[in-house]
């Protein structure tokens, strides 16, 4: 089924469902919130969670095919364990500004995780991520990582190709700050570090796909044709962000944009091709 975006805030739904006074997400609420009776077909969920009074441990049981979970502000989850142990299929997780501190059990709780976005939290210990064998993209901007050994632990993530450590004590200007070169020595599989390609002229790993096009030409394309043109190409969300950045930095003297994409090992999560040239 086509899974809709879920813009409605949890707080706006509470008054309609008295059963939410119990600290858990009931199937009845989820059916209303997701707009479908078929919870087993839901693959994307966006909602607000406060684990201090709501239990999210059964989300994976109610939504067995959930692939993408986005916790919206203001959410509060101090420990990854608060999400329970039933999100075995989850591939993409957004937890920005959730007051997250503890990643304990990550590899066992989320064995299918491929993209993990947790900027602006309080995470200091990365050891629990060392067993995440499918992890490809990790955004740790503005956390509390300060130890070389925590960075080294990520070497046990064999598919990791994009990492953001900006704003962490381990890379902040200081006598003991970890140089970029040292991070790349520890994690040679990285193709992007702190949103900067590790090699000139590249935005990711895999097969280079060089797209040279006229911006004005693409903007004049009917949306359907653009979608059709790009439907067989897959990009991680960070690659899309970098493509948009490259487009915004184009010279006024030229209307040509050259963007290099890398298609190998990219998660098949993006279908809104128009985002690239919006």
- pLDDT digit string (tens) for 162-175? 999 999 999 988 77
pLDDT of residue 277 exceeding 90, the answer is no
pLDDT of residue 192 exceeding 90, the answer is yes
Task: Supply the pLDDT for residue 180.
Answer: 94
pLDDT of residue 216 exceeding 80, the answer is no
Task: Supply the pLDDT for residue 278.
Answer: 32
Task: Supply the pLDDT for residue 202.
Answer: 53
Which range of 104-108, 175-179, 206-210, 211-215 scores highest in mean pLDDT? It is 104-108
Which range of 19-33, 122-136, 171-185, 227-241 scores highest in mean pLDDT? It is 122-136
Q: How confident is the model over 53-59, as a mean pLDDT? A: 88
pTM value is 0.69
pLDDT of residue 204 exceeding 70, the answer is no
**What is the CATH architecture of 10-197?**
Alpha-Beta Horseshoe (3.80)
Looking at per-residue pLDDT, the higher value among 272 and 6 belongs to 6
Task: Please check whether residue 119 is in contact with residue 145, taking contact to mean a CB–CB distance below 8 angstroms.
Answer: no
Which range of 170-174, 193-197, 240-244 scores highest in mean pLDDT? It is 193-197
Q: How confident is the model over 143-170, as a mean pLDDT? A: 96
pLDDT of residue 242 exceeding 60, the answer is no
Task: Supply the pLDDT for residue 173.
Answer: 82
Residues of the chain above pLDDT 90, percent: 53
Q: Domain ranges in the chain?
A: 10-197, 208-277
Q: How confident is the model over 233-253, as a mean pLDDT? A: 51
Which range of 18-32, 64-78, 210-224, 233-247 scores highest in mean pLDDT? It is 64-78
Task: Supply the pLDDT for residue 12.
Answer: 46
Q: How confident is the model over 23-41, as a mean pLDDT? A: 86
Task: Supply the pLDDT for residue 225.
Answer: 53
Q: How confident is the model over 69-98, as a mean pLDDT? A: 96
Q: What does the alpha-carbon distance between residue 69 and residue 112 come to, in Å, rounded to a whole number?
A: 13
* pLDDT band per the 50, 70, 90 thresholds, residue 243: low
* pLDDT band per the 50, 70, 90 thresholds, residue 228: low
């Amino acid at each position: 089924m086509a899974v809709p975006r879920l813009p409605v805030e949890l707080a706006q739904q509470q008054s309609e469902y008295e059963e939410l006074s119990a600290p858990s997400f009931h199937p009845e609420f989820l059916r209303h919130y997701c707009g479908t009776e078929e919870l087993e077909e839901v693959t994307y969920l966006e909602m607000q969670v406060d684990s201090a009074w709501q239990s999210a441990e059964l989300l994976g049981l109610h939504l067995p095919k959930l692939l993408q979970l986005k916790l919206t502000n203001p959410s509060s989850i101090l420990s990854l364990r608060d999400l329970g142990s039933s999100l075995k299929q989850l591939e993409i997780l957004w937890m920005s500004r959730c007051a997250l501190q503890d990643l304990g059990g990550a590899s066992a709780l989320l064995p299918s995780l491929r993209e993990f976005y947790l900027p602006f939290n309080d995470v200091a210990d990365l050891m629990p991520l060392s067993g995440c064998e499918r992890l490809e993209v990790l955004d740790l901007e503005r956390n509390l990582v300060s130890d070389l050994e925590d960075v080294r632990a990520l070497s046990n993530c064999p598919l990791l190709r994009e990492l953001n450590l900006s704003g962490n004590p381990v890379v902040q200007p200081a006598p003991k700050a970890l140089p970029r070169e040292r991070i790349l020595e520890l994690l040679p599989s990285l193709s992007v570090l702190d949103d900067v390609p590790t090699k000139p002229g590249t935005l990711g790993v895999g097969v280079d796909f060089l797209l040279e096009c006229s911006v004005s030409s693409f903007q004049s394309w009917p949306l359907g044709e653009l979608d059709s043109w790009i439907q067989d190409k897959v990009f991680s969300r960070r690659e899309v962000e970098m493509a948009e950045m490259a487009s915004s930095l184009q010279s006024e003297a030229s209307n040509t944009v050259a963007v290099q994409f890398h298609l190998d090992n990219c998660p098949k999560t993006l279908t809104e091709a128009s985002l690239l040239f919006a």
